[in-house]
Amino acid sequence: MALLEVKNLGISFGGLRAVNGFDIKIEKGQLYGLIGPNGAGKTTVFNLLTGVYKPDTGSIILDGKDITGKKTIEISKAGIARTFQNIRLFKEMSVLDNVKAGLHNKHSYSFLSGLFHLPAYHSVEKQMNEQAMELLKVFELEKEAETLASNLPYGKQRKLEIARAMATEPKLLLLDEPAAGMNPNETKTLMEMIEFVREHFQMTILLIEHDMKLVSGICEELTVLNFGEVLAQGPTGAVLNNPQVITAYLGE
């Protein structure tokens, strides 16, 4: 059984069909790419998968569970985490507290425990601190644990956003153009980190990206969107050599 299976997904905005008849099947452990020209509907697909938008048509099945039209928090608890093209961190919070924000998806204490700092509160906070520090070590950010997120260099902000997403213990990680704004050396490091996340956490990853070197270097399969519809789909090499893809996406 596929980890994610999407069938006939669609949504319209003001009469414009932004996504139409979108199908995708992603197996557990796969690193899958979603590409297409600007305005093709890629981020809209991510917003549909994560509950930001509710689809007009279609179904989203995650690990055998129908999550179509569920709220964002329900989908997060079901096992989907994401990052954003424009980094969204709690910039006035520390690096450690950003990761702890992700851990709140899995930990809780009563209102009274939090208000009066009862033993249950301290126990949960201690556990979250330890788990957050372990994640920061994995992403080589432990030395910046007390640094404000806004003071991190750009590349480390990207790493922190992924670390926070991983704190929710997802089954599927959605990465929305993680290489945006990076130079070639930073992109190379990012590729290595994505591969590491996949192997270390045995993670399934769906990646939106414009950097074709990154896509061709790490994605096993691709889906190409154009005007909200699937233009091509299949193994990466075959898709990137598809004349329709070359015309529509690469502009050659």
Which residues, 6 or more positions from 206, have their beta carbon under 8 angstroms from its beta carbon? 4, 26, 32, 33, 34, 172, 173, 174, 175
* pLDDT tens per residue across span 190-234: 889 999 999 999 999 999 987 778 888 899 999 999 999 999 999
Are residues 120 and 195 located together in one domain of the fold? no
Q: In the chain, helix, strand, coil percent, each to 5? A: 40, 25, 35
Q: Are residues 218 and 96 part of one domain?
A: no
Q: Clarify whether residues 3 and 74 are in a common domain.
A: yes
Based on the fold, state whether residues 153 and 177 are members of the same structural domain: no
Containing 98, the helix (H) or strand (E) segment is: helix 95-103
Structural domain that includes position 210? 1-79+170-252
Q: Is residue 21 in some structural domain?
A: yes
Q: Are residues 72 and 133 in the same domain?
A: no
Q: Say which CATH number the domain at 218 has.
A: 3.40.50.300
- Residue 33: HSE in the Cβ half-sphere, 13 Å Cα cutoff: 29
State the total domains in the chain.
2
Please check whether residue 84 lies inside any domain of the structure: no
Residues 207, 244: one domain?
yes
Give 163-173 pLDDT, tens digit per residue.
Answer: 999 999 999 99
Give dist(CA 136, CA 129) in Å, integer: 10
pLDDT at 123: 67
Residue 251's pLDDT band (cuts 50, 70, 90)? low
Q: Is residue 117 pLDDT above 80, yes or no?
A: no
Residues 75 and 2 in one domain: yes
- Residue 87 forms part of a structural domain: no
Residue that finishes a domain, picked among 167, 188, 215 = 167
* Tens of pLDDT, residues 12-51: 999 899 999 999 999 999 999 999 888 899 999 999 999 9
Are residues 175 and 241 both part of a single domain?
yes
Among 181, 177, 146, residue whose Cα is nearest residue 162: 177
In a domain, 222, yes or no: yes
Single out the residue in 100, 133, 167 at which a domain terminates. Answer: 167
pLDDT at 216: 87
Q: What is the pLDDT of residue 55?
A: 97
Domain membership flag for residue 11: yes
The residue from 167, 190, 206 where one domain ends is 167
